[in-house]
Amino acid sequence: MILPDSEQQQFGYIENVSEGGMGIVSLEYIRPGTRISAGFYLPGQNDKISTTATMVHIQKNMGMVYYYGFQFEYLRSPIGRCSVSTSRVIP
């Protein structure tokens, strides 16, 4: 993922993904409300899915790991572009 105002990539693991958003686990701190550009591949697919998403949830465990919930603004996939309208927060 690439944070705004930065050309440096931040690394995290996608813990879950749905049509409305994704959960990311990372050691990096990201400010609430941050918008990111991200890309990922679904299992069994060769084409990259690109998106912009806004962080809507943050939780830190007792260690140094952050759990983030991001809501998709749109998805761009090989089959075209689609709008995503949802208000769910990813726990």
Please report whether residue 39 resides in a domain. yes
- Predicted local distance difference test score (pLDDT) of residue 67: 93
Please report whether residue 73 resides in a domain. yes
Torsion, Cα 56 60 65 67, to 10 degrees, reads -30
Please report whether residue 77 resides in a domain. yes
- Evaluate whether 77 touches 70 at the Cβ level (below 8 Å): no
Range of the domain at 55: 13-82
Please report whether residue 61 resides in a domain. yes
Please report whether residue 74 resides in a domain. yes
Please report whether residue 2 resides in a domain. no
Q: Each residue of 24-37: pLDDT tens digit?
A: 898 888 888 988 88
pLDDT, greater one: 81 or 75: 75
Domain count, the chain: 1
- pTM for this prediction: 0.69
- Predicted local distance difference test score (pLDDT) of residue 54: 93
Tokens of 59: 């939780």
Please report whether residue 34 resides in a domain. yes
Q: Each residue of 11-59: pLDDT tens digit?
A: 778 888 888 899 989 888 888 898 888 778 878 878 888 888 999 999 9
